[in-house]
């Protein structure tokens, strides 16, 4: 049974209007009547203020539940994708980091139409825009150490430091905000031929040309100009940004 101090503190914590209505934790109230968000707020505050000190086994159980919930969310994101078929490009499972990214940034994983002013921006201006965004992101994000980068599976938009995935999704995010359609901005997992390392780049389709935006290169090149440097493993589909296909979509 919780003492009076805990009951009062729990009632104050649950008074947060965003999460739940006013409740009072007492021994006579069934815990099933409380919302999950409310209980989360209460437990987090109690633990942080050392009002209660659960045993180590309880803490490990909570941690395990967190990890299981996260894995279930990722499995749902992958398995709930609609069936899709590209001619000559078999569908494959997306990278795990991509599934995590779509949970955190759902707007960037939705289909977006072309909102560019075609009468104003010529191809040369679009070329300059690609180079400007590529250089800005490459300069604005500090490269993360290789040891830390290998264990980092979360892609973040404009972090302080990051790996190739952070660079690629940040460039794609800026181009989407500039009005580029999602069908032209394709994340691509490649293998660098020189090192055998898996790497993420952004492929940008402009007419019949495909350009490569890479954090390892300050200049934007056509894909056919650097095809001897990469092996395409899987890319986003043009028709659906949630679908990935083998090799070039």
What does the pLDDT look like over 109-129, one tens digit per residue? 999 998 877 655 567 788 889
Tens-digit pLDDT profile for residues 182-214? 999 999 999 999 999 999 999 999 888 999 999
Q: How many residues does the chain have?
A: 249
222 neighbors 180 (Cβ within 8 angstroms) = no
Q: Is the pLDDT of residue 1 over 50?
A: no
Ordered by where they begin, the domains of the chain are 4-53 (no CATH), 91-246 (3.10.620.30)
- Over range 34-62, report the average pLDDT: 52
pLDDT of residue 207: 83
d(Cα 196, Cα 113) in Å, to the nearest integer?
36
Q: Angle at Cα 167 formed by Cα 164 and Cα 173, nearest 5°?
A: 140
* CB atoms closer than 10 angstroms to residue 41: 19
Judge whether residue 17 has pLDDT over 80. no
Averaged confidence pLDDT in the chain: 74
* pLDDT one-digit tens code per residue, 177-190: 999 999 999 999 99
């Amino acid at each position: 049974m919780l003492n009076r101090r805990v009951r009062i503190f729990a009632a104050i914590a649950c008074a947060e209007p965003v999460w739940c209505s006013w409740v009072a934790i007492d021994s006579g109230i069934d815990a099933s009547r409380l919302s999950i968000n409310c209980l989360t707020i209460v437990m987090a505050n109690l633990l942080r203020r050392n009002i209660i000190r659960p045993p180590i086994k309880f803490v490990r159980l909570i941690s395990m539940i967190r990890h299981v919930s996260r894995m279930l969310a990722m499995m749902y994101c992958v398995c709930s994708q609609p069936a899709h078929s590209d001619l000559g490009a078999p569908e494959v499972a997306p990278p795990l980091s991509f599934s995590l990214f779509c949970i955190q940034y759902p707007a960037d994983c939705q289909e977006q139409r072309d909102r560019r002013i075609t009468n104003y921006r010529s191809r040369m201006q679009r070329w300059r825009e690609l180079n400007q965004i590529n250089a800005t992101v490459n300069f604005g994000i500090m490269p993360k150490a290789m040891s830390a980068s290998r264990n980092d599976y979360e892609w973040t938009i404009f972090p302080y430091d990051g790996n190739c995935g952070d660079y690629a999704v940040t460039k794609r995010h800026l181009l989407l905000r500039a009005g580029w359609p999602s069908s032209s901005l394709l994340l691509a997992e490649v293998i660098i031929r020189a090192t055998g390392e898996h790497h993420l780049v952004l492929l940008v389709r402009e007419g019949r040309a495909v350009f490569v935006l890479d954090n390892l290169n300050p200049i934007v090149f056509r894909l056919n100009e650097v095809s001897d440097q990469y092996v395409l493993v899987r890319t986003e589909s043009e028709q659906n940004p949630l679908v990935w296909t083998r090799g070039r979509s």
